[in-house]
Amino acid sequence: MQIHISPSDGVPIYQQIVNQIKYLVAAGRLPAGEELSPIRVLAEQLLVNPNTVARAYRELETAGIVEKRRTAGTYVSDQGSPLARRERVKILTGRIDALLAEAQHMDVALDEVLKLVQQRYAAMESTRTEE
């Protein structure tokens, strides 16, 4: 877990931890089911008060990004964090906009584009089952 703390930044330290873990989850560098560093370990690594790390983990838990499991560990949530999902949708939206703009440019109707998308999906699925 690559986190960097800068007290001179002004942003409260727990908030810096929250922001950076959110980013790592959205970027896929902390995948669902991955265990976060234990509080004491991260506190020593970042040289911050363990209570500060505990507070950051609580905030992430409230936001549904991580969850506590029976054995005291904290894990990235399974149901794909809402944030990571939003990020993914954002990326795809950009691609779709580009595709639609190109289709319009080449005078291909929306029905045809959708049909093409489904065809390509079917083709991809069939090659995958063959493997």
Partner 1 sequence: MHESFPSSAPPILELNRVTRRFGTKTALDDISLTVPRGGVFGLIGGNGAGKTTIIKHIMGMLKAQSGSVRVFGLDPVQNPVGTLGRIGYLAEDRDLPNWMRVGELMRYTQAFYSNWDAVYAEELREAFDLDINARIKNLSRGQRARAGLLIALAHRPELLVLDEPLSGLDPVVRRDILGAIIRTIADEGRTVLFSSHLLDEVERVADRVAIIHQGRILLTAPMDEIKETHRRMTLRFGQPHDRPPSLIGTLSFEGHGGEWTYICNGESSQLRRAADAIGATVVGDAALSLDEIFMSRILS
Contacting residues toward partner 1, per CB under 8 A: 5, 7-14, 39-40, 43-44, 46-51, 54
In the complex, minimum distance from the CB of residue 98 to partner 1, in angstroms, rounded to a whole number: 35
- Cβ proximity of 65 and 22 under 8 Å: yes
Phi-psi region of 2 (alpha: psi -120 to 50; beta: other; left: phi over 0): beta
- Cβ proximity of 53 and 11 under 8 Å: no
In the complex, minimum distance from the CB of residue 9 to partner 1, in angstroms, rounded to a whole number: 7
In the complex, minimum distance from the CB of residue 6 to partner 1, in angstroms, rounded to a whole number: 8
**Residues 50, 125: Cα–Cα separation, whole Å:** 48
CB nearer to partner 1: pick between 47 and 124: 47
CB atoms inside a 10 Å sphere around CB 66: 26
Scanning the chain, the segments in alpha helix (DSSP H) are 13-26, 39-46, 50-62, 82-105, 110-130
CB nearer to partner 1: pick between 61 and 87: 61
CB nearer to partner 1: pick between 13 and 25: 13
In the complex, minimum distance from the CB of residue 68 to partner 1, in angstroms, rounded to a whole number: 12
CB nearer to partner 1: pick between 58 and 103: 58
